[in-house]
Every structure is written in C-alpha cells, then in structure tokens.
Structure 1
Amino acid sequence: MDAVTPLTAAAPAKRARRKQARPGELLEAALALFVEKGYAATRVEEVAARAGVSKGTLFLYFPSKEELFKAVVRENAGRHVADAMREVAGYTGTSAELLREFIQRWWTQYGGTPAAGLTKLIMSEAANFPDLAQYYQDEVVQPSHALVRRIVQRGIERRELRDVDLNLAAHLIVAPLVQLVTWRFSMAPCCPAGLLPEPLALLAMHADMVVRGLRRE
C-alpha cells in the first residue's frame, strides 16, 4: 500500500497544475488563430480545440470572444509597455542609451514575435470592430507613445536631448516600427528573401538616426 500512496497523492496535484495552465494555453492558441485567420474568422471552438480543452472551459476564463481578444492584447502587448514604463523610472544610463534599448527591446519582445501580428490585425479589421480598435489604442498605442514621450522628456530635462515637440517625436520614432511589422505580416511572405534588410540592423540604424537628430548641438 505504501508504494501506491505517492502516485495517488500526485494525481490531484497534476490536475491542479493543469487547471492553472489553461488560461495561458488558451491565450497562446487564441493569439495564433487571431494572427492566422483574423478576428472575425476565428471561432472560440477553434481556440478551445487548439488548446486541448472544451468550449465550456474557455468560457470559464473568458466569457466572450471579445474578452478573449482583449486578454491576448494585454498579455502580449500591453504588459510589455507597462513593464517598460516602470523600468524607465529607475534607469541610470543616458537617454540616448535608453532610446536605443527601447527600440531594440521592442523588436525582441514584440516586433519579432508572433504577437506583432496583432498590429496588422487591428489595421485590417478596425473599421468592422471599432470597439476593439479603441481598446488596442488605449491599451497599446497610447501607452507606447507615452513611454517614448517620457524617454525624450527625460533627455530634455537632463540636457542630453534638444527641446522638441514630444508628440511629434513619439510619432516619428514609433512609425517605422509599425511599418516594419506591417511589412512582416503582409508583403514579406510574398516577396523575395533579402528584399527587406535584417530587422535588428534596420532598427539599429533607425535608433542611431533618432539619437543623432535629437542630440543637443
């Protein structure tokens, strides 16, 4: 009997871990399907099946497809922006270094990951789902711009960067990042390999031009 006890005790623990893992698995499956098929064409049944659970289990965690999509956005995009904003407050390097790091980390944490497909999805389906587009704007776009404005403002206050319009600076810094992921999920699969430069090299040059343009004379 003693030999059986550890196996018997382990079974509930395994089920508990499985239950805790389901939200993450559902979000991963939902992200893949949303990026692959778009929001309108993705059915919750498909998400549940890809995650290996029933539709009823999915609705225990996410009461609707809209709430599931919002959770995907929060987990794969909004969370990174919030983390970066907290890190800026404690950053000890120069603002030029911070700008370079922001652009590089944007690619490694978002632009170069499957989650970047959310950008193209929103641009494609915003007219049909304005509430979701507004949510993405509130959760990702505006916080991203606020983060860039904070970095540039930091440089101005420390007299490392020249005084510029913060809103315009944020748009100019972010626009090439959006263009890069739009290309990646639209034209790149149809174009010859090598037509677009290596992303990190392109972003390094973008960061260099931004820093040189903002540096005080």
Structure 2
Amino acid sequence: MECIFKNQPRWARRKEARPQELLAAALDLFVERGYAATRLDDVAKCAGVSKGTLYLYFSNKEELFKAVVRENVLPVIGEAELAIVQHEGSSIALLRDIILGWWARIGDTKLSGISKLMMAESCNFPEVAKFYHDEVISRGNAMIERVLQRGVARGEFRPIDVQQATNVIAAPIVMLMMWKHSFGACRSEPISAPEFLATYIDLLFRGLLADPST
C-alpha cells in the first residue's frame, strides 16, 4: 500500500487535519493487513506524523479502530435510519434502496474490508467485536427488521419470522463483501456485483411479497 500522505510535508498540513489523516491511514492499513497486524507506528508513518502525535488523538489501537468505524460506517447507518423514518413509498422500494445504498456506500468501497476483518479476527479481540456488533450489526439488523415489519403491517409482505428473515437477507451481502476481499482477488471469472445484486433482489422480493405478481 502506498501511504497517501507521504509526499506532503508536515508543515504543509493544518493541525486540525491530522485526525482525519490518521483515520484515513488507519483504514487503509486495517483493510490491507487486518487488525492484529496493523501497528500504530505504521499508521503514524503512513499519515506522516510521529507516534507521539498519534497518541494525542487516540490512546491505543482499539480506540483508533473504533474511531475509523464511527467516522466511516456509522454515518451511513444514520442516514439509512433517517431514510426509513421519512420514506412514504412502498416497503419494496425502501428495502431495495437500503440494500443498494449499503452496497454503494460500504460494500463497493474499501470499507467492506472492515467486515472481512471482523469476520476473521473477532474471536481474538472480543472487546472490538462487541463494539462492532453493538454499533454496526445490531443497528443494521434493526433497520432491516423495521422495514420488514412495515411491509407485513401494510400487507405488502407475507407473514414471516422477521428476525430469521433479517439474517437471511443480510447473509448474501456479507458473503459478497467477503468474496471481494478473498477469492475475488484471484478468481479468473469474478462475481459481478451488479448482476449478483439484481438476482438476489429478484429472488428476495418474490419470496417476500404477499402478491408476487405485483
């Protein structure tokens, strides 16, 4: 990975920009190396600051990782939560927007590497795993459950086990992100994300709709 700030002299950057530079460098390193292998020395070097400067903003690697998630992932969840509250159209359109919006903002970007990191290393770092579960997974699942409950209540979706349906809906998206950061890098015929998502949404909606002909 090429450090994105290495060609900028320290004096040329404003002090208030340093936290963002550190978070950007940390995101790149966490995605490339994983949580365990990312060292704060390397984050500081990549951001073009001393390790002492990094400690002015983040007390340890766990706090740095949490800040990366809060800066990059949680705003996307917050926007989706607001969109659900404000949506006045069909539940099908809302669920489609949530799925495609998540892929555009998370899955199709380097942020999907955070999901892969958590799948691979959560057992080794339980405090980090708990944070990610509470702040990302639980809120994401709650969004899907809310859309499903809305659809059932309005007669758009057939009666279902909302909790299990949420797990089923989330699983293919997680798989696609995992594939992107594993076999996707070496498979001769990579999975086309747009085609995958179109097929997934078609199958999903045919299973959910109270009247599949609509």
> If the length of structure 2 is used for normalisation, what is the TM-score?
0.89
Partner of 1:210: 204
| Match of residue 64 from structure 2 | 68
What is the Cα deviation at residue 78 of structure 1?
A: 2.3
Residue 27 (str. 1) matches residue 23 (str. 2): yes
Letter in 2 for 1:80: V
Whole-Å Cα distance in 2 between the matches of residues 16 and 148 of structure 1?
45
Contact (CA 8 Å) 1:99, 1:207: kept in 2 or not? no
Alignment correspondent of 1:4: none
Structure 2: gaps spanning 5 or more residues: 1-10
* Shift in alpha-carbon separation, 1:117–1:135, aligned structure 2, 3 A: same
Query: 1:104 touches 1:200 (CA, 8 Å); kept in 2?
Result: no
Cross-structure match for 2:161? 165
Partner of 1:12: none
Look up the match of 1:43. Answer: 39
Deviation at 1:36, TM superposition (A): 0.7
In the alignment, which of 94, 97, 114 is matched to residue 98 of structure 1?
A: 94
CA shift in 2, pair 1:17/1:153, >3 Å: farther
Hey, what's the Cα distance between the residues in 1 that align with 2:209 and 2:155?
Answer: 9
In structure 1, distance between residues paired with 2:179 and 2:167: 18
Question: Is the CA contact 1:100–1:208 (under 8 Å) kept in the aligned structure 2?
Answer: no
Q: Hey, what does 1:186 align to over in structure 2?
A: 182
CA distance in 1, matches of 2:34, 2:52: 22
Structure 1 segments unaligned to the other structure (5+ residues) = 1-14
Percent of aligned pairs with the same residue?
48
Ranges of 4+ aligned residues in structure 1 off by more than 4 Å: none
Bigger RCO (CA 8 Å, 6+ sep): 1
Q: Distance in 1 between matches of 2:159 and 2:17?
A: 48
- Cα distance in structure 1, aligned partners of 2:15 and 2:83: 32
TM normalised by structure 1 equals 0.88
Match of 2:83 in 1: 87
Give distance in 2, aligned partners of 1:95 and 1:20. Answer: 42
